[in-house]
Structure 1
């Protein structure tokens, strides 16, 4: 049996990446005709992609209106952070300092610092998500990696609702570096405690900003 991804999965991954990168924003209506032409696929294939991403919670279908990028709820944000704690904190606590994922964490930290120098806060948001995906990769579980990619996309939807990406991401550039420093020093236990505190603060910031939108 072939392990190659289907065309539907490949296109779904492309659109998921556009959500993660902030190119598709919460509430945005997706034109079926335009997307099918841009992606050079049939409308039937695109509809399959829409159904897949709707099941993942990234899109929503409104009868007689079309398909839209989902707008996250406060309940979904709470659940996302609950899941992140369950996955990321144990993955880091049990990590080997010389794991390939640690190298990916280092690359994400360097990228975020470089982007800070030019004020590219959307790029910094992507680098931050790469950092956390690298933490999950420390678990050596392809299933967790795939699941976390979906979680990241949902989280970026919430970030897309906020007015100030700088306020959201600026405090965590150096905190990422500090967590990585503890891991590379062989102190994964302290790194995981720092990450747990980090996620709690991040959750509060996102929820407070989200509440102000209402």
Structure 2
């Protein structure tokens, strides 16, 4: 029995690495995953990789199709709506009820400054990753390991939804300055005001993603 634990831990780590690649935008919706290439790049056995795949299929991040292998899932409209519902419940409450001197406030500033540097360099995928870090840090204000773990999975799903948009500048550019304003409110201790701004921000983001996704589906139907 003791010998089984390291293999399970390795599968967990591989799953986390794949989740990080999803959050960073390295893996995109609909992309088929090569077992051979991934096992080589992650330096793990195919059996370990398959166990990690099973975990991520269970989480709804990957999909397995008979005779076609494993691919990154393409989020549905219902999934996107649910993601934003959870974001409003979790992020806005975490921000509204934050402890005034919480150390995560400094990481909010760091994430915003990273996004500004990446924006200046026109690295829009990098801006998207910094944006993910900002929202992850917002949730950390709640001091709940369970919420942190749940939100890590949700961030991966969210990045997949963002991956449906072919113009990352259009998607991410407006939110760099909004994140800065929210951070400044948090630094001033105005958490309720920051949470109200985030509520409006998330509503705007949801409308943008759903509108683009609707056009994406219409284009697929026209092509079919």
Note whether the superposition's TM-score is higher than 0.5.
yes
Partner in structure 2 of residue 131 of structure 1: 134
Matched, 1:32 2:27: no
In structure 1, the gaps of 5 or more residues are none
CA deviation after TM superposition for structure 1 residue 116, in Å: 0.9
After superposing the two structures, state which structure 1 stretch, 28-37 or 151-160, moved more: 28-37
CA deviation after TM superposition for structure 1 residue 101, in Å: 1.2
**Of 12, 18, 31, which aligns to 1:9?**
12
Task: Measure the CA separation in 2 of the matches of 1:171 and 1:38.
Answer: 35
Matched, 1:78 2:89: no
CA deviation after TM superposition for structure 1 residue 186, in Å: 1.1
Partner in structure 1 of residue 90 of structure 2: 87
In structure 2, the gaps of 5 or more residues are 218-224
Matched, 1:119 2:119: no
CA deviation after TM superposition for structure 1 residue 140, in Å: 0.5
**Secondary structure of 2:48's aligned partner:** helix
Matched, 1:152 2:146: no
Matched, 1:172 2:175: yes
Matched, 1:42 2:45: yes
Partner in structure 1 of residue 143 of structure 2: 140
**Please, what is the CA RMSD of the aligned residues?**
1.5
Task: Measure the CA separation in 2 of the matches of 1:186 and 1:46.
Answer: 45
**Secondary structure of 1:146's aligned partner:** helix
**Secondary structure of 2:70's aligned partner:** strand
Partner in structure 2 of residue 182 of structure 1: 185
Give CA-to-partner distance per residue, 1:93-123, whole Å, 9 cap, x none.
0112321111111000000111111101000
Partner in structure 2 of residue 52 of structure 1: 55
**Which TM-score applies when normalising by structure 2?**
0.92
Task: Measure the CA separation in 2 of the matches of 1:191 and 1:10.
Answer: 35
CA deviation after TM superposition for structure 1 residue 41, in Å: 1.4
